[in-house]
Structure formats: C-alpha cells, structure tokens
Structure 1
Amino acid sequence: MTPSTAPDPATVRALLAGFGDRAAGEVGEEIGSLELTWLIAQFEQAYSVIVELDDAELARIETVEQAANALRTVLGLPALDSA
C-alpha cells in the first residue's frame, strides 16, 4: 500500500490485518474501539497525516466502510458510494 492509494474497504482491511496478525480476509465488517485506534495509528503512519476526529465522529465509525469514508474525509476525498 502506498500513500497514493485512496482509502477504501480493502485498504482498511489491509491496515487492520496487522492488528492480531491476521489476513485481510479474516477482518470482519464491524470495527471495535481497539481496532479503530490501531487503524488510525497505522493510517497516520502510512499517509503521513494526523487524523483529527472528535469523539462524536469516532463513535459513528462502527464498520470497515464507515472507517474508509472517515479516512477519505481526512484526505479531502469524496465518500464512497454505498451499495
């Protein structure tokens, strides 16, 4: 993964795979608070940015897709279309 890769669910799963040393395919759709903390730290490192989300924004991130959209917002990118 490179910083030029726009965050999408596959990118989020790849980052989350490092939490618990698992394959990206083993990452479920729901994200717990520890996984979210890990994801943000990994995202900041990979993309050389600081994620500044308030508590309400963080509380709304419960799924891989929601995380991808929140991280896209941090980079100034449009949200992904939901199916």
Structure 2
Amino acid sequence: MAGQPDLGRADLVTMLAELTGKPATEVPDRIGSMELAWLVHLVEQRHERRLDLSDDQLAGIRTVDDALAVFRTALTVTADG
C-alpha cells in the first residue's frame, strides 16, 4: 500500500465518536470547526506527521467524506515529499 495512507471513513467516524461520546452509528456526517480541529489533531498524532492544510482545504471540509479526501491527499503528499 505504498503511497496510500492507512485512513478510512470508519477511522474518522470512530474519532468523532470519541469526541462526542456517542456511538459511531450516531455520529453526524456534518463536521463543525471543533470536530475538524479534533480530527486534524488525531490524524496528525496517528500518522506522526503534521498536515500542512491550506485555508481553502480547511474551508472545504464540511462532512466526514470531505475530511477523508483532504486528509488522504495531505498524507500522501507528506509521505511522498
């Protein structure tokens, strides 16, 4: 799996469940600024690297799927560069 980050939608939902104290099945798809900050922090910790996200990338994250796409791209770029 070279170049492909080990991060899936279920991982992000589990992280959000930890923040909210809700079961993963009850985690909403929409992400607010607090949830986004939490996810960035945990993804950086888990992958032991800083995500260099632009303001445009951050502003475009409104859902779990948005976050997954941006994080995977950032992790792939960081891993390759």
Please report the TM-score for the alignment, with normalisation by the length of structure 1.
Answer: 0.79
> Which position in structure 1 is the counterpart of 2:60?
60
Following TM superposition, the consecutive aligned residue runs of length 4 or more in structure 1 with deviations greater than 4 angstroms are: none
- Paired residue total: 74
> Which position in structure 1 is the counterpart of 2:75?
75
Letter in 2 for 1:31: I
Structure 1, unmatched stretches of 5+, are: 78-83
> Percent identity at matched positions?
36
Give the secondary-structure state (helix, strand or coil) at the position aligned to 2:19: coil
Confirm or deny that 1:32 pairs with 2:71: no
Please report the TM-score for the alignment, with normalisation by the length of structure 2.
Answer: 0.81
* Higher relative contact order (Cα pairs below 8 Å, separated by 6+ residues): 2
> Alpha carbon RMSD of aligned pairs, Å?
1.8
Return the structure number with greater helix share: 2
Whose Rg is larger? 2
Structure 2, unmatched stretches of 5+, are: none
Deviation at 1:18, TM superposition (A): 1.5
